[in-house]
Amino acid sequence: MNAPYELDAVVTAAAAKLMAATVGTAVQISRDVLADLVAHLDVDVSFLRYNDHGIGASRLVAEWPPRSAVPQPDPLALVYFADDPVFAQCEHGKTPAVFGPEPANADYQRLIEAGSSVHASSMAAVPLVSGEITTGTLGFVKFGDRRWRREELNALQAIASLFAQVQARIAAEEQLRYLAHHDELTGLHNRRGLLAHLSERRRQHERIVVLFLDLDRLKNVNDDLGHAAGDDVIRATAGRLHQALHPDDVLARLGGDEFVASLITPLDEAEIASLTARVHACLAESLQVGSARLSIGASIGVVIVGPDDPRDPARILRDADTAMYAAKNDGGGRTHYVATPEADCSPVGSRPEPSDAAAVIQQAIGVLRAQTGVATDDALQVLERMSHDDGTELAEVAGQVVDRAVERAGGIATPDP
């Protein structure tokens, strides 16, 4: 690769491929670009590594060609900066660095030999830089010695910049994907993530046991100590629930003080009762929040769904929610069950079944009109925005509005639509 126009063509070709990279294709496209660079640069190995500054290490992301024999554990998969002076220079380096088979690089040579059985090599390491942070390294290895020209290193810097852009974009996409399915305060699944989980279990025709929990005294904490203290209680509750449940169980926070656990481990009814008793005991233990020592209990609704049960995930959550309100209206700190679609654990009054979506929506519109004085069309728009923001069906959101009205009123929520 001698002429500048050839280098420009290599950079352009790499850019065209990397622009198409997605979360699912980024690693394979990176390998393809590395393969092109190995051929054009006449080197033996190329690799892409990302820096993990949280643990002070460099992680192998892609390499070309694949090693024919990879030792286990792979000494090149994760290299701590503190363990190797050459890799240490890649932690914060901002300009290309070239390393040869000199005695000064003996530790690096031994590491390469352990991972690839190559006894001597030279390497060019080009940093991936995002803002002020070095996020990784694009590396090229020649067995034996090799001299690198400034034009080559400049071209590789341009390609490393493209890799850094892909890295940042993929990280942003993964973060958005994570936030779309997880609660920001606790890191638990959110409603969307929970519904996706339950939908998959329904497709597999699995028996499902859901626990719907609502903290009994969080409002008092928010009113007396402030919402920051309430957030501390919510985070502590998430931690305690993790301790009480099986590690494989899926835990979600739906917002506010509502948590849902989807039990993965098969349990009979006696074991479920034992588990809910353990959860109650765990949550009832006193909790230090700032200078205050609090006791926060919970009301629990349980729904048991057989493999052939017709209820969909939204209906499952609504039934568990209804059972939870039965427990709360019974004094709190209790557990109520809904075992079948026909069972009715409604604590007060009733509202239309979810199958009668239009009636549920009309009842919710009536609730909003009574609470705010808005017109019917405006109330419907509010419900539609809530549905869009939560990623749930309109009837499901409407049912939640009705349920909250029932809770506040302590009776039947039946305002005229």
Question: What residue type is 358 in one-letter code?
Answer: A
257 is catalytic: yes
Name the token pair of 230: 């309430």
| 3-class DSSP state of 18 | helix
Residue recorded with tokens 């990879």: 70
Rg of the chain's alpha carbons, rounded to an integer?
29
Q: Can you tell me the distance from the alpha carbon of 327 to that of 333, in angstroms, rounded to the nearest whole number?
A: 7
Given 257, 309, 319, 403, the catalytic residue: 257
- Strand (E) or helix (H) holding 273: helix 269-284
The beta-strand segments (E) located in 83-200 are 97-99, 121-130, 133-143
Give the C-alpha distances (Å, rounded to integers) separating 177 from 26, 182, 192, 238, 255: 16, 9, 11, 21, 18
Classify each residue of 115-144 as buried b or exposed e, where b means 16 or more C-beta atoms within 10 Å of its C-beta: bbebeebbbbbbbbbeeeebbbbbbbbbbe
Catalytic residues: 257
